């Protein structure tokens, strides 16, 4: 209890840092030196980063890499990827180059509907509630006109508002289920603002509705909030080619490869323990581009994994088949993304990433990000069913191990030569470096 502090958010960044160093690191000046070494020397740029969140003390760096050679709908892209896992960018690049020689990736936005709910408790006759909602329905639109005006000019806005009866699951629980099209913005603030106005209509109008009993007029709004589950904001990514055209250095027998590949996918379709890791691999590619473009990867993750379990069992997001000699690999993903608003106009690296992608619309970004996930999944399954996942992963991880050991250039060269013909593990690298040094 000795570490409780009042008014922390009101302290300057320097004061916050001094408190942390004094309280948790016994005044160790090296800690402060390490933290401040990550401050940007451009004070205006650092101030911008400081103000993204509260109680900022420094910047936390993640690598921004690029994966070239992505052919998507016959257009060539270089994808920005922010991630710390060593093999992801290499795997994505490998898959992109592989499929660029086989027709590239195809992607289609299937729908763009986003969802929000006003959750409320109503104790009374359902038919009277239905009549009430019908009576005030137009006010959901008229009282949000000041919010939706600009969105409607861009072709978006509120699509529908309907009453949902959930009383069979929770006593007296109903909701307004609203759908939206937010065009190129992710739309969280827009949706939440509209929902709060819907809630205000319920609070204001229910006590005035003459057909309600006294108890029914006491309708209670619990909360108004968007949903990150967007099963109708959907994009499909896929690749296909003749089975024989899959042949490569790693795939000498494409028929045998396809058989194993499809078996691996089907295992993920029926076995949740495998499906979770299988889908995590997809999200390696998805999250990396989501982060680079300033979008909310936590919302994407939550929505995607809910989608993977939509039929009552957690399953693979991707699927594969062979029909008439054509191999096909595809997946559908729910992705609520934005290319305007939020960090897209503030964070310099986000602006760079969107420029690199040639200023995509939200729909185009949906397709790009879905393809990144499918590419990552293909690369992982290709490794798993041929050389094994560890061979490529450990080669990429080797640099991290050598950095931890502070290996010299000469030691790095000897390690690289040694493990061209020996099994690469963390302990084996440590042992070999110690042997060199002794």
CB 405 within 8 A of CB 100: no
Tell me how far apart the alpha carbons of residues 378 and 104 are, in angstroms, rounded to a whole number. 13
Which sign, positive or negative, has the C-alpha torsion 369, 374, 379, 384? positive
Tell me how far apart the alpha carbons of residues 121 and 173 are, in angstroms, rounded to a whole number. 5
Tell me how far apart the alpha carbons of residues 206 and 220 are, in angstroms, rounded to a whole number. 9
- Residues 6+ positions from 43 with CB-CB distance below 8 Å: none
CB 198 within 8 A of CB 191: no
Tell me how far apart the alpha carbons of residues 142 and 201 are, in angstroms, rounded to a whole number. 10
Catalytic amino acids?
Answer: 85, 280, 296, 393
CB 343 within 8 A of CB 294: yes
User: In 3D, which of 390, 394, 415 has the Cα closest to residue 405?
Assistant: 415
The distance of Cα 123 from the centroid of its chain, to the nearest Å, equals: 39
Q: Please report, to the nearest 10 degrees, the dihedral formed by the alpha carbons of residues 425, 429, 435, 438 taken in order.
A: -140
């Amino acid at each position: 209890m000795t570490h409780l502090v009042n008014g922390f958010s009101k302290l300057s960044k320097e004061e916050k840092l001094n408190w942390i160093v004094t309280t948790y690191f016994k005044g160790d000046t090296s800690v402060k030196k390490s933290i401040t070494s990550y401050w940007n020397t451009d004070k205006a740029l650092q101030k911008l980063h400081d103000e993204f969140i509260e109680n900022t003390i420094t910047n936390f760096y993640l690598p921004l890499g690029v994966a070239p050679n992505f052919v998507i709908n016959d257009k060539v892209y270089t994808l920005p990827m922010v991630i710390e896992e060593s093999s992801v960018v290499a795997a994505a690049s490998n898959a992109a180059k592989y499929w660029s020689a086989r027709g590239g990736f195809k992607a289609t936005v299937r729908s763009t509907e986003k969802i929000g709910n006003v959750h409320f408790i109503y104790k009374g006759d359902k038919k009277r509630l239905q009549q009430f909602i019908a009576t005030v329905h137009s006010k959901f639109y008229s009282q949000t006109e000041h919010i939706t005006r600009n969105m409607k000019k861009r072709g978006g806005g509120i699509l529908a508002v309907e009453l949902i009866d959930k009383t069979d699951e929770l006593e007296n629980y109903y909701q307004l289920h609203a759908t939206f099209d937010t065009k190129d913005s992710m739309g969280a603030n827009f949706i939440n603002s509209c929902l709060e106005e819907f809630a205000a209509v319920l609070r204001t109008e229910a006590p005035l509705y003459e057909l309600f009993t006294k108890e029914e007029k006491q309708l209670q709004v619990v909360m108004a909030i968007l949903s990150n589950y967007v099963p109708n904001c959907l994009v499909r990514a896929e690749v296909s080619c003749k089975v024989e055209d899959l042949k490569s250095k790693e795939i000498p027998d494409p028929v045998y490869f396809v058989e194993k590949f499809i078996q691996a996918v089907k295992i993920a379709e029926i076995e949740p323990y495998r499906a979770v890791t299988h889908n995590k691999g997809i999200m390696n590619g998805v999250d990396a581009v989501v982060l680079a473009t300033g979008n909310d990867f936590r919302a994407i993750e939550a929505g995607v994994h809910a989608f993977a379990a939509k039929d009552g069992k957690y399953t693979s997001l991707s699927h594969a088949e062979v029909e008439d000699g054509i191999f096909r690999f595809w997946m559908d993903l729910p992705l609520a993304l934005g290319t305007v608003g939020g960090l897209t106009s503030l964070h310099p690296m986000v602006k760079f990433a969107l420029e690199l992608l040639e200023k995509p619309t939200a729909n185009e970004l949906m397709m790009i990000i879905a393809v990144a996930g499918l590419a990552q999944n293909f690369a992982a399954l290709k490794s798993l069913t041929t050389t094994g996942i560890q061979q490529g992963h450990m080669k990429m991880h080797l640099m991290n191990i050598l950095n931890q050991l502070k290996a010299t250039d000469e030691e790095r060269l000897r390690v690289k030569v040694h493990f061209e013909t020996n099994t690469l593990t963390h302990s084996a690298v440590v042992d070999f470096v110690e042997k060199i040094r002794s």
